[in-house]
Structure formats: C-alpha cells, structure tokens
C-alpha cells in the first residue's frame, strides 16, 4: 500500500467496490460462454478474487499488524481446503456413486 492511500482510504474503498461489481459482471458473462472444463475454474477464480478483496480491504486484513490474527485466518482457510480438497479427491477418484 502506498503511503498516500492511508490518508484517503475512501479511494481504496471505492476502487475495491468497483472491482467487485466488475467481477460480478464478468462472472455472469463468463458463465454464458462455453469454456469446457474451465467454466468452474474461471467462476471460482473470480469468486476467490472478490472474496480476497473484501477480506483484505473491507475487513482490514491487509494492514493488520497482529500475527496471531493472520495465523487464525490462514489456518481457517487451510482447514477449509483440507475439508473440500481431501473429501473431493476421495469421491472423485471412486468409479461408483451412491446410486450405481
């Protein structure tokens, strides 16, 4: 962050707000194009970018000085990734489903 941004957080807030709205529009438009297996990649990529913008700038994580706070946030993401990633690799590597 440049020093001048500290004295005009408004500029940052409005820029992030604009970026979030653009991201929403892009997600919507990208869903209408056939990107094959990359549709979910693009959708989740844009969603994660938006979530990071909200977390870093609106929730003031970017300027947080407390290491303990950063540890809590990082470990939350880490455990969520374990939940989703490990569970999905399990299910997606099985050739059977619950009905067949």
| Residues near other proteins (CB under 8 A) | 9-10, 13-14, 17, 20-21, 24, 27-28, 31-35, 39-40, 43-44, 46-47, 50-51, 54-55, 58-60, 64, 66, 68-69, 72-73, 75-76, 79-80, 83-84, 87-88, 91-92, 97-99
Between 5 and 21, CB nearer to other proteins: 21
Instruction: Check residue 36 and give left, alpha or beta (phi > 0: left; psi -120 to 50: alpha).
Output: left
Between 5 and 79, CB nearer to other proteins: 79
CA angle 62, 68, 70 (to 5 degrees): 30
Q: How far is the CB of 30 from other proteins (least distance, A)?
A: 8
Phi, psi of 94 (to 5 degrees): -95, 135
Instruction: Output helix, strand, coil percentages for the chain, rounded to the nearest 5.
Output: 75, 0, 25
């Amino acid at each position: 962050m440049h020093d001048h941004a500290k004295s005009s957080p408004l500029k940052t807030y409005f820029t992030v707000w604009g970026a979030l709205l653009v991201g929403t529009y892009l997600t919507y438009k990208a869903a209408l194009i056939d990107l094959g297996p990359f549709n979910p990649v693009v959708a989740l990529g844009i969603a994660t970018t938006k979530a990071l913008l909200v977390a870093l700038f609106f929730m003031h994580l970017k300027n947080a000085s407390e290491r303990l706070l950063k540890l809590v946030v990082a470990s939350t993401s880490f455990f969520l990734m374990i939940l989703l990633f490990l569970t999905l690799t399990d299910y997606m590597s099985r050739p059977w489903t619950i009905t067949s």
